[in-house]
Amino acid sequence: MLLDYDRLGGLRTALLGFTGLVAAFLLLPVIFIVLLSFGSSRWLAFPPPGWTLKWYEELFADPAWLEAALTSARIATMAAILAVVIGLLASFALVRGQFRGRNTLRGLLLTPMVLPVVVFAIAIYAFFLRIGLGGTTAGFIIAHTVLALPFAIIPITAALEGFDKSIEDAAIVCGASPFEAKLRVTLPAIKIEIFSAAIFAFLASWDEVVVAIFMASPTLQTLPVKIWGSLRQDLSPVIAAASSLLVLLTLSLMIVTALIRRKLSK
Amino acid sequence: MSGNLLHRPSIFRRPDGIGGALPALILIILFFVVPVVALLLRSVTEPVPGLQNYATLFGDGTYARVFFNTFLVATVVTAVTVIVAFPVAWMLAIMPPTLGSIVFGIIILSMWTNLLTRTYAWMVLLQRTGVINRTLMDIGLISQPLPLINNLTGVTIGMVYIMLPFMILPLVGTLRAIDPMTLRAAALCGASPLEAFRRILLPLSLPGIAAGGLMVFVMSLGYFVTPTLLGGTSNMMLAAMIAQMIQSLLNWGLGSAAAFILLVVTMALYALQLRLVGAKRMTGGI
């Protein structure tokens, strides 16, 4: 009975109420930041004494913010592309390959997701200093590709495991080369998961703070580094304005994802 | 014809070799394994070869406090997250889809919102003159602002906020996999709801709770951003201490020794988790 929604009785009201509270707990801080970004109080008084757009004006008046956002977008796009391509190739080997140590290999490739990122951050920081990649865009892209790779591999291997390989074999019987069969039969069949992989990999880089703090130089900083730097100084409402734009971006990403998933699954 | 038949298996069953994984393998070895191993080597070679860095870490009360703080926060965060997440996951597993998709949407929005944005929100909410303190004072519950930030209370609130989606989402999967029939049967046999919960629902969802709980615990142990911003300098956690040793104190030996300890604990718990739930189920969460 406990798993029958219609027969829970009073318990259902209590559980639904609790779920509502938790949903509010998760949602309210996000709404709060958006409201504050339009509030006129420099000290972030709430409810705001008046409404203004001046924090957004300040945000756009400082070219460092836009530059940091563009840097982040560039690095995250490159890291996502690399992680998806490398992850896709690896996924075929991980799912269909017959070689010893396959599970160990899978574990190894997923480790960057598990290892505390601060350990990786100082390790790659020291390593890049030594080989001359410290503070470079290339260094950023490599480090973020390592961190994004598990987020690409997990959905793609899951999709390949659920894909019936005999369909690909049928294409080969009909005269397609193995490569062509993969390209024109298998990849279209798992396109939703490849798309998810790209989104996850992009976000893994776009939101990454810790490696970025170590790797950043005065001339090269990503958006999270810029926010981090401002947060260490004061709780300026300009950060609320930047944050609100990030929330808007998240929302659009969610909507686009939902739409594309719906379109792809038709 | 027969030649064709003989050839067919060789076309079909030619398995994908390890070849496709090579780019990934090279990337991970060159830019993950090598740097991490090189870092750990520094813990026993700097400033002079030997184990003195570890002796310092284990012998000094200051560091002992950081280790204690870290484990305390991770334990409390995990416990609170499990208790809060369970009823939500339970409802999500059986809710009508329309209502459920709203709650799922909120969870995903919160999870995908920039980590610094969420932490910033809590910094503003929890400060002395923040909304929470103001409201509590206005309704007369407290006369002095509560110290909610720059201490472990702040860290715990912020961490629970960030960890909740990671606990709720896998738990929904576990709960959905339980056949409602088993609970109907229990009710038919005269079990009270409490008894059915304690003896059927809870034990059956234990694998999910253990897997999610371990994941939250491991993530909390090594978390850097939220504890640093909400905890202040006097309540440092392990990850922040490691970063400080490297970045401000330039003490690579001590910093990498602390990193090694964090790595060993994390990897041991990860191995335990794999054993408990199997690699596939754990990583199927996202």
Option in B39, B88, B116 nearest A231 (CB): B116
Q: What is the mean pLDDT of residues B215-229?
A: 93
% of chain B exceeding 90 in pLDDT: 59
CA atoms within 13 Å, Cβ hemisphere of B257: 20
CATH class of segment(s) A63-235:
mainly alpha
Rounded distance between C-alpha atoms, residue A117 and residue A112, angstroms: 8
Domain ranges of chain A: 5-37, 63-235
Q: For all residues of chain B together, what is the average pLDDT?
A: 88
Pick the closest to residue B24 from A86, A265, A174 (CA basis): A86
Beta carbons of A3 and B175 less than 8 Å apart: yes
Q: Note the pLDDT of residue A164.
A: 86
CATH architecture of B61-283: Orthogonal Bundle (1.10)
Contact criterion met (CB below 8 Å) for A75 and A144: yes
- Residue among A46, A119, A144, A165 with most chain B CBs within 10 A, to mutate: A119
Q: What is the mean pLDDT of residues A40-54?
A: 87
Residues of A in contact with B281 (CB under 8 A): none
Instruction: Write down the pTM of the prediction.
Output: 0.88
More confidently predicted of A266 and B214: B214
Q: Which residue of A has its CA nearest to B259?
A: A119
B7, pLDDT greater than 80? no
Option in A97, A107, A111 nearest B17 (CB): A97
Beta carbons of A1 and B187 less than 8 Å apart: yes
Q: Note the pLDDT of residue B9.
A: 46
ipTM of predicted complex: 0.89
Domain ranges of chain B: 61-283
Q: Is the peptide bond before A237 cis (omega within 30 degrees of 0)?
A: no
Residues of B in contact with A235 (CB under 8 A): 120, 123-124, 127
Residues of A in contact with B218 (CB under 8 A): 114
Tokens representing residue A85 in the block: 């391509």
B100, pLDDT greater than 70? yes
Residues of A in contact with B130 (CB under 8 A): 46
Q: Note the pLDDT of residue A41.
A: 87
**In Å, how far are A23, A33, B136, B139, B233 from B130, measured between CA atoms?**
21, 13, 10, 14, 20
Min CA distance, B139 vs chain A (Å)? 16
Q: What is the pLDDT of residues A103-132, one digit of tens each?
A: 889 989 999 998 999 999 999 999 999 999
Min CA distance, A46 vs chain B (Å)? 6
Give the range with max mean pLDDT: A62-66, B78-82, B244-248: B78-82
Q: For all residues of chain A together, what is the average pLDDT?
A: 91
Beta carbons of A43 and B263 less than 8 Å apart: no
Residue with token string 């998709």:
B101
Q: Note the pLDDT of residue A28.
A: 92
pLDDT band (50, 70, 90) for residue B278: low
Q: Which residue of A has its CA nearest to B123?
A: A235
Q: What is the pLDDT of residues A179-228, one digit of tens each?
A: 888 888 889 989 989 998 999 999 999 999 999 999 998 889 999 999 99
- Residue among A6, A11, A15, A19 with most chain B CBs within 10 A, to mutate: A19
Contact criterion met (CB below 8 Å) for A181 and A143: no
Rounded distance between C-alpha atoms, residue B178 and residue B39, angstroms: 45
**In Å, how far are B35, B39, B46 from B255, measured between CA atoms?**
14, 9, 10
Q: Which residue of B has its CA nearest to A2?
A: B183
